[in-house]
Structure 1
Amino acid sequence: MVRKFYPEEFKADAVELYSSTPGATIKKIAADLGVHEGTLSAWLRAAGVTTVPTAAGRADGGGAGVPETPAEELERLRVENKRLRADKSLLETEREILRKAAKYFAGETTW
């Protein structure tokens, strides 16, 4: 199998994306970027980024892990809540845009 070469800038951007995305998982970011999960994990380790375990106990979202302490669960839920609020806001904005577009195009129809 041919080994892929990734420029240092791409690696740095991938690490920054993971670090700046609340609730991000290695699995999700790796899929979005089209790289293997192990590759992204290696870049994160090399950059000294600590990965936040998910509820299942692993940063990539799979596997069984050590049970969370109440403080870890609280932090995880706060991060998830923040992400869900951001998603809700984005969806509300998109819905409003679609509503206005539908109104506009309905007014143009002259059948």
Structure 2
Amino acid sequence: MATIEECRAALDQLSESMGGAEGDVRAAASLDRSVSCHITDLDVTFAGRLGGGRLHVHDTRPGPPRERAQIRLAMTGDDLLALVRGDLHFARAWGSGRVRLEAGLRDLLRLRTLL
């Protein structure tokens, strides 16, 4: 089972990857939105913002998200690590229910290039 530190490092790695993206991926990553990522097996939530082409995690809190972020993710820590490593395809994980993504329709359409 992944640790909180490993999950935070994976989110930092994801942010770095997004910062180096080009084209449509860069445009999608340039959204300015609040983000939460609930790690279900650790019952911890990382909260922050997507902005400037990066994911900025500002807070780590126990339990589910306290506030409703504009983009909300939920998954296990192991699935987060696998997604960031490229071992787990986001669309398949989302379709099978391993990963939950909630956002407004316009955000979902823009985010699809990241996924």
Normalising by the residue count of structure 1, what TM-score does the alignment of the two structures yield? Answer: 0.23
Structure showing greater relative contact order (alpha-carbon pairs closer than 8 Å, 6 or more residues apart): 2
Higher fraction of helix: 1
Pick the structure with greater CA Rg.
1
Higher fraction of strand: 2
Normalising by the residue count of structure 2, what TM-score does the alignment of the two structures yield? Answer: 0.22
